C-alpha cells in the first residue's frame, strides 16, 4: 500500500515564484499545490479535502496579508507548519508573523538547500 506524500501549499501572487517553489518542493519528495492569494488557499481547503502539511506563505499578498492568512488557518484548525517568506523585509514583520503562529520567517529568494531545511523531507 502506497502512503500519501506530504503536501506543501505555496501561496504567492507571483506565478514564477509559485512554479519555482513547487518544482523545488517536488524535487524534495513533496506534493505541491499553488495559490495566488490567501483567499484562494482558504477557499481551496474544503471540509474533508486535502490539508497541507506545510505552507509557504508570501507576506505581502493582495487581499489577506500573511498574518491574516495565518490567523484564518489556525481558526479553521489547520495545524500545518507555516513558513512566511518575503522579498521586502520590514522592521517588525518577523515578530508579527512569528507571533501569529508562523514557524519561520525567511527572505526570498529561497534556495533548494534552505527549503529542505525549512520544510524538512517527507517521511
Q: Give tens-digit pLDDT for 13-23.
A: 999 999 999 99
What are the chain's domains?
7-119 (3.40.50.2300)
CA dist list (Å): 51 to 5, 48, 55, 108: 12, 8, 10, 25
The pLDDT value given to residue 121: 62
- Whether 3 shows a pLDDT value over 70: the answer reads no
Give the global pTM: 0.92
The pLDDT tens digits for 35-93 are 999 999 999 887 767 789 999 999 999 999 999 999 999 999 899 999 999 999 999 99
pLDDT of residue 50: 79
How does residue 4 score in pLDDT terms, banded at 50, 70 and 90? Answer: low
The reported pLDDT for the residue numbered 112 is: 87
Query: C-alpha distances in angstroms, 66 versus 57, 71, 87, 115?
Result: 7, 9, 13, 18
Amino acid at each position: 500500500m502506497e502512503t500519501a506524500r506530504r503536501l506543501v501549499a505555496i501561496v504567492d501572487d507571483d506565478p514564477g515564484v509559485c512554479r519555482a517553489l513547487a518544482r523545488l518542493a517536488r524535487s524534495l519528495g513533496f506534493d505541491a499545490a499553488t495559490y495566488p492569494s490567501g483567499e484562494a488557499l482558504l477557499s481551496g481547503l474544503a471540509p474533508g479535502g486535502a490539508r497541507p502539511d506545510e505552507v509557504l506563505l508570501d507576506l505581502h499578498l493582495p487581499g489577506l496579508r500573511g498574518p491574516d492568512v495565518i490567523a484564518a488557518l489556525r481558526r479553521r484548525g489547520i495545524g500545518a507548519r507555516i513558513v512566511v517568506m518575503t522579498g521586502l523585509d520590514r522592521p517588525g514583520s518577523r515578530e508579527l508573523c512569528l507571533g501569529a503562529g508562523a514557524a519561520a520567517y525567511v527572505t526570498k529568494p529561497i534556495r533548494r538547500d534552505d527549503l529542505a531545511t525549512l520544510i524538512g523531507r517527507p517521511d
